[in-house]
A and B are shown apart, each in its own frame.
Chain A
Amino acid sequence: MSTKKQITVAVTGLNAIDSPGPGVPVIRGLRESEVYDVRIIGLSYEALEPGIYMHDLVDKTYQIPFPSSGVDSLMTRLQYIHEVEKIDLIIPNFDAELFSFIKLTERFEKEMGIKMFVPTQEQFDERHKANLNEFGDKHGIKVPESKMIFSTAEIPNLQEEFGYPMVIKGKFYDAAIAYTPEQAANHFNKISAKWGLPIIVQKFVHGQEVNVTALGDGQGVTVGAVAMRKTYITDKGKAWAGIAIKDEKLMDMTTSMIKSTKWKGGLELEIMKTSEGDYYLIEINPRFPAWVYLAVGCGQNHPDALMRLAMGDKVKPFKDYDAGKMFIRYSYDMVVNLDEFEKISTAGEL
């Protein structure tokens, strides 16, 4: 009989698609916990999120309302799910939903005893793409110059300030490089149609992109950090393969940022390393990345550590990891009975 403690964890981000959410890799990490025996409740937004049908990873899934529905409808839905499933912990994995979950942190804990380990509202706001320059100044990190724009009419004036190429970014997701004003307008329209306004324009930095997945304990301590370089990139700019690297400067930058912000929860840093050896922070994602399972494979189980921190356990910071481990994604066709699709589509549960 297992001596592990039983726990029920609800996880979002089950969209293991070509631009994948981190839910499935987070669940894989949780399932490898040596402390907890995990029951996973999937929280999905759409009926075709692949994680819903991965029954070896997800025990049961419930649809939840889109973030645009507001915090009250999310609360109502989670009250119902909690009545049935007795959730101990929720791990939200989408940037776009984090605002609502952060707002509900106290109510979850007080009214239902559900724990979360997410950044504070202040931490969430200050690392926002639109505020990244101020964030860099405050915490002593180099950040490419950026600016919010609200209309394509502002594009002609950008040339002098940013020059081409420049990067056009959505407020939550998506980014594209524009080499001409026409391309900039095109990207503006595409990205704003999907993610709304403002659009963030960022100075293009030449160099090699490196990424870090990390976990902060909320007191300034880096519990874990693993750096990765993408070795195969999809046309959406997502890593399809990557390799764990060891770069002291990158680790110093990560630990000093977590110390300075007292970051609480998982995060991903997107950094550009120039040929001169300078590091520019391009973006901070306030949750684990979709490649977080590489960290587990390298000896740092960040999702498990986050779960233990959330449950009030003492967690020793990881000291090291295996550089040179690689991840390679693959696509895999699951064959699913129509009644499963019917259940999640109509009843909102599977």
Chain B
Amino acid sequence: MNIKKNIALSDSGFVFDPSNGDSFSANPIGLEIITALKEGKSEVEIKKQIVDNYMTDEVTFEKDYYDFVSTLLKLNVAEEAKK
């Protein structure tokens, strides 16, 4: 899954889609995950980054991560990677 190329992301977690004017606010963890996705990191890399830095475990991360990325897809902020 990729964050769409035209999506603008600010340091404060403000996400702007210039194609339709939609905007969203991500919390600090959300911002970190979106930034990592934008950088092209894989789910495994992101999981390691979050689990290493925060008091959470892999199962909790995975549950929240899938929930979060499905929201990103639904909001058209992200798209499935082209095969």
Contacts and interface: CB of A to CB of B under 8 A. Distances in A.
A317 B46 CA distance: 45
B8 A245 contact: no
Contacts of B20: 208, 210, 229, 245, 247, 273
A324 B8 contact: yes
A247 B16 contact: no
Interface of B: 6, 8, 16, 18-21
A142 interface: no
Interface size class of A (residues with CB under 8 A): 10 to 19
Nearest to A249: B19
A324 B16 contact: yes
Contacts, number: 24
A242 B20 CA distance: 11
B8 A246 contact: no
B19 A247 contact: yes
24 contacts: A208-B20, A210-B20, A228-B21, A229-B20, A229-B21, A231-B21, A242-B21, A243-B21, A244-B21, A245-B18, A245-B19, A245-B20, A245-B21, A246-B6, A246-B18, A246-B19, A247-B19, A247-B20, A273-B20, A323-B18, A324-B8, A324-B16, A324-B18, A324-B21
Contacts of B8: 324
Given A243-B21, A246-B19, 12 more contacts: A208-B20, A210-B20, A242-B21, A244-B21, A245-B18, A245-B19, A245-B21, A246-B18, A247-B19, A273-B20, A323-B18, A324-B21
Most chain-B CB neighbours within 10 Å: which of A231, A243, A273?
A: A243
A32 to B, nearest CB: 24
Nearest to A242: B21
Interface string A131-169: 000000000000000000000000000000000000000
A238 B21 CA distance: 17
A144 B5 CA distance: 32
Contacts of A242: 21
A238 to B, nearest CB: 17
Interface in A226-263: 228-229, 231, 242-247
A246 to B, nearest CB: 5
A243 B17 CA distance: 11
Interface string A198-232: 00000000001010000000000000000011010
Contacts of B21: 228-229, 231, 242-245, 324
B70 to A, nearest CB: 18
A273 B21 CA distance: 13
Nearest to A322: B18
